[in-house]
């Protein structure tokens, strides 16, 4: 990094830390806006350094211009009288942002083409009429006329100048943020407000200059991985133009309708939510755009379809399958009506029975467990009816500084008290997960480097403290300790031996503990007979296993491995057949209804997933 531009008084101090972009989407608008707003709470000079560029950390547009993507690293630097405290607080805040973004991206998303074999098979089995298929934004089934989006432009004179319109727009966004603070919309309003508060825009004095600024930013984003940001700039432009008397509004029917458009601005989605809209089809949006996030938050059934669409006075949008039928037969209409009733009954039943046992049609009980990261998510899992915890991702409990033995023990104990069945994974850092207090050498291929169980060799003191805390926290309660990224029997044997030595040294009980591994590395497939002799259980981490099977990094911005691939299910069936110990699934594949059905057909009776999916998956299993 080039720090020659960084001049400060002798009485001031400079502290810095290297942070990594672990969000698969890179550093996009919402997390940047949140981070910038956090930096503004501090009086110190705060900067970001990346590739010899220094930018003001309190400027949203300056950070946006860096176009930081997944895997990029930057140096966060604080200069002031007592910079260390500020630096740690901001690093903590940033790590929490990245974890929140990573959790949003955990469920594998695939954008199928119109001839996607998996969707085509489902679609053909349900409907007979010609249809279009696409990517699901928000599930649901609706029947209504298909209506093309049109805009009504109005001009009215007022006496506001540009700066007055700018400040009024900021005030309006601030009110919207406060009103929707607990919803998914809040981060979008905050992001737009932060954009308008940026120094570059605050220094603009005329509408003409503002329009040029917007045009230049939009052009710079075209054909890049940040193309979806264009809608945000268009939306803040629309807001200011409205304050100046130049408004554009969607023209929509008063009766139920399905809207189709190239894309929608976030403000237009908010307007739509108050109309008679029952479904939305977009052509040029993305699954992670702000418009898609809002459609999901308003529970509007919606899909992205790249094909040409024509208006129709009667259509079916089956967003649960990603299907649009613009000219349905009477038989298809009857099918859609039946599916709507079935969905309503399933959702109601799922909520009523979320705490009940999950018995499939063969009379076999299936355990539906939760993947959690901390005490809050553990409580949420409990509220959603989780039968236990199938994966406690312990690395996300602590973010910036290494926790003490006492701090770890308390957190684990509080979580253990909530469930009878709990599996905790030892620290799994490296790859797309970093902890700043664990210093690791820079690796050309971090997903193939120091990860998971390999920390027992590279950072033994960190793992030993964690093991001691877990054993202390269990207090004789039955728990499962799971080692991640195991590739050979020797690695497991050494890790378990280390645990037993710690227990003996500190006189801690281990007869209540079972030891197992996550199956993520393909080499385990060919050594399963040897592992059967030494482990107590297995849990298959399908996220990483898929990544290594197909040699496609799971955070890659453009390449995606098919989580429903027959190859993957062949591997899962092989592992299930050859395993002589209890075996479960803890990857996100378990929360995909089509996938969970195939897993049950193989024979799996223990599935672990995000808490929000638990009631529906339980009901899906009961209904076969």
64-73 per-position pLDDT tens digit = 878 787 778 8
Question: Model's pTM, two decimal places?
Answer: 0.57
| Joined tokens for residue 23 | 């969000």
Q: Average pLDDT for residues 466-489, to the nearest whole number? A: 93
Burial class (CB within 10 angstroms; exposed 0-12, middle 13-18, buried 19+) of 10: exposed
Which of 15, 28, 459, 560 is catalytic? The answer is: 28
Give the integer Cα–Cα distance in Å for 326 and 314.
Answer: 7
Identify whether 459 is a catalytic site residue.
no
Residue 107: its pLDDT value, please? 41
* Percentage of the chain lying above the pLDDT 90 cut: 33
411-428 per-position pLDDT tens digit = 999 999 999 999 999 988
353-622 matches 13-104 in CATH topology = no
Q: What is the sign of the dihedral through the CA atoms of 513, 514, 520 and 522?
A: positive
Residue 355: its pLDDT value, please? 93
Listed ranges 311-320, 528-537, 560-569, 582-591; the one with the highest mean pLDDT: 528-537
532-573 per-position pLDDT tens digit = 999 999 999 988 898 889 887 765 545 667 777 889 999 999
- The domain limits of the chain are 13-104, 117-151+250-349, 158-244, 353-622
Element (H, E) at 352: helix 330-352
Q: Average pLDDT for residues 490-515, to the nearest whole number? A: 94
Among the listed residues 280, 240, 232, the one whose alpha carbon sits nearest the alpha carbon of residue 256: 280
Give the per-residue SS3 of 284-329: CCCCCCHHHHHHHHCCCCEEECCCCCCCEEEEEEECCCCEEECCCC
Can you name the CATH fold of 353-622? Answer: TIM Barrel (3.20.20)
Instruction: Look at 33-37, 112-116, 537-541 and tell me which has the smallest mean pLDDT.
Output: 112-116
Give the integer Cα–Cα distance in Å for 302 and 283.
Answer: 11
Q: What is the sign of the dihedral through the CA atoms of 528, 529, 535 and 536?
A: positive
345-399 per-position pLDDT tens digit = 877 888 889 999 999 888 999 999 998 888 888 998 999 999 999 999 887 666 5
Tally Cβ neighbours within 10 Å of residue 542. 23
Q: Contact, 81 vs 45, CB < 8 A?
A: no
Residue 437: its pLDDT value, please? 54
Q: Contact, 300 vs 280, CB < 8 A?
A: yes
For 13-104, CATH gives 3.30.1340.10
Give the integer Cα–Cα distance in Å for 483 and 470.
Answer: 13
Q: Is the pLDDT of residue 160 over 90?
A: no
Tell me, what DSSP letter sits at residue 178? H
Tell me, what DSSP letter sits at residue 613? G
CATH pick for 117-151+250-349 out of 3.50.30.10, 3.20.20.140, 2.130.10.10, 3.40.630.30? 3.50.30.10
pLDDT-derived band at 605, boundaries 50, 70, 90: very high
Q: Average pLDDT for residues 38-51, to the nearest whole number? A: 89
Residue 435: its pLDDT value, please? 54
**More confident call, 600 vs 476:** 600
Give the integer Cα–Cα distance in Å for 59 and 45.
Answer: 12
Q: Average pLDDT for residues 18-46, to the nearest whole number? A: 83
Q: Is the pLDDT of residue 183 over 80?
A: no
Q: Contact, 71 vs 26, CB < 8 A?
A: no
| 3 state DSSP class of 551 | coil
pLDDT-derived band at 443, boundaries 50, 70, 90: low
Distances (CA, A) of 375 to 284, 326, 414, 438: 39, 47, 7, 22
Q: What is the sign of the dihedral through the CA atoms of 236, 241, 247 and 248?
A: negative
Mean of pLDDT over the chain: 82
431-442 per-position pLDDT tens digit = 444 555 566 566
Residue 623: its pLDDT value, please? 81
């Amino acid at each position: 990094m080039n720090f020659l531009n960084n001049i400060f008084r002798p009485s001031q101090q400079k502290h810095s830390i290297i942070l990594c972009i672990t969000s698969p989407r890179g550093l996009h608008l919402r997390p940047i806006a949140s981070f910038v707003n956090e930096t503004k709470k501090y009086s110190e000079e705060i900067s970001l350094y990346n590739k010899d560029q220094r930018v003001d950390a309190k400027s949203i547009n300056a950070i946006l211009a860096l176009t930081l993507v997944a895997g990029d690293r930057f140096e966060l630097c604080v200069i002031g009288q007592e910079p260390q405290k500020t630096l740690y607080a901001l690093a903590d805040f940033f790590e929490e942002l990245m974890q929140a973004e990573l959790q949003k991206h955990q469920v594998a998303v695939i954008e199928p083409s119109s001839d996607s074999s998996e969707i085509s098979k489902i679609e053909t089995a349900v409907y007979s009429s010609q249809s279009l298929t696409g990517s699901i934004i928000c599930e649901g089934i609706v029947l209504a006329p298909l209506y093309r989006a049109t805009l009504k432009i109005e001009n009215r004179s007022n006496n506001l100048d540009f700066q007055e319109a700018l400040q009024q727009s900021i005030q309006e966004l601030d009110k919207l943020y406060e009103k929707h603070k607990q919803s998914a919309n809040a981060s979008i309003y905050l992001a737009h407000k932060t954009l308008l508060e940026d120094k570059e825009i605050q220094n603009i004095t005329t509408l003409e200059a503002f329009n040029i600024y917007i045009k230049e930013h939009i052009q710079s984003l075209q054909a890049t991985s940040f193309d979806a940001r264009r809608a945000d700039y268009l939306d803040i432009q629309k807001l200011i133009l409205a304050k100046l008397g130049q408004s554009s509004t969607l023209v929509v029917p008063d009766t139920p309708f399905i809207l189709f458009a190239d894309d929608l601005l976030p403000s237009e989605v908010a307007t739509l939510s108050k109309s008679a809209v029952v479904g939305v089809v977009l052509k040029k949006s993305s699954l992670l755009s702000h418009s898609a996030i809002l459609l999901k938050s308003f529970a509007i059934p919606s899909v992205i379809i790249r094909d040409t669409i024509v208006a129709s006075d009667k259509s079916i949008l089956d967003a649960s399958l990603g299907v649009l039928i613009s000219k349905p037969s009477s038989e298809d209409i009857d099918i859609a009506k039946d599916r709507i009733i079935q969905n309503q009954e399933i959702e109601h039943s799922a909520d009523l029975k979320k705490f009940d046992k999950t018995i499939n049609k063969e009379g076999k009980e299936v355990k539906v467990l939760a993947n959690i990261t901390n005490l809050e998510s553990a409580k949420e899992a409990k509220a959603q009816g989780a039968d236990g915890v199938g994966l406690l991702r312990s690395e996300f409990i602590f973010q910036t500084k290494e926790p003490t033995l006492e701090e770890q023990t308390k957190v684990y104990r509080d979580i253990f008290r909530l469930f009878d069945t709990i599996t905790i994974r030892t620290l799994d850092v490296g790859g797309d997960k970093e902890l700043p207090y664990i210093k690791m050498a820079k690796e050309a291929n971090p997903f193939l480097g120091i990860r998971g169980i390999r920390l027992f060799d590279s950072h033994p003191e960190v793992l030993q403290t964690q093991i001691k805390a877990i054993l202390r926290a269990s207090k004789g309660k039955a728990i499962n300790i799971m080692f991640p990224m195991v590739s050979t029997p020797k690695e497991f044997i050494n890790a378990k031996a280390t645990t037993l030595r710690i227990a003996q040294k500190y006189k801690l009980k281990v007869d209540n503990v079972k030891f197992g591994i996550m199956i993520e590395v393909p080499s385990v497939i060919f050594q399963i007979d040897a592992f059967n002799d030494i482990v107590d259980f297995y849990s298959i981490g399908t996220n990483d296993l898929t990544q290594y099977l197909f040699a496609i990094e799971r955070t890659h911005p453009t390449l995606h491995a098919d989580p429903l691939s027959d190859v993957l299910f062949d591997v899962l069936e092989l592992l299930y057949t050859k395993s002589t110990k209890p075996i479960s699934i803890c990857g996100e594949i378990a929360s995909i209804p089509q996938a969970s059905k195939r897993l049950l057909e193989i024979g799996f009776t223990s599935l672990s997933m995000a808490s929000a999916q638990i009631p529906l998956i339980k009901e899906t299993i009961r209904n076969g």
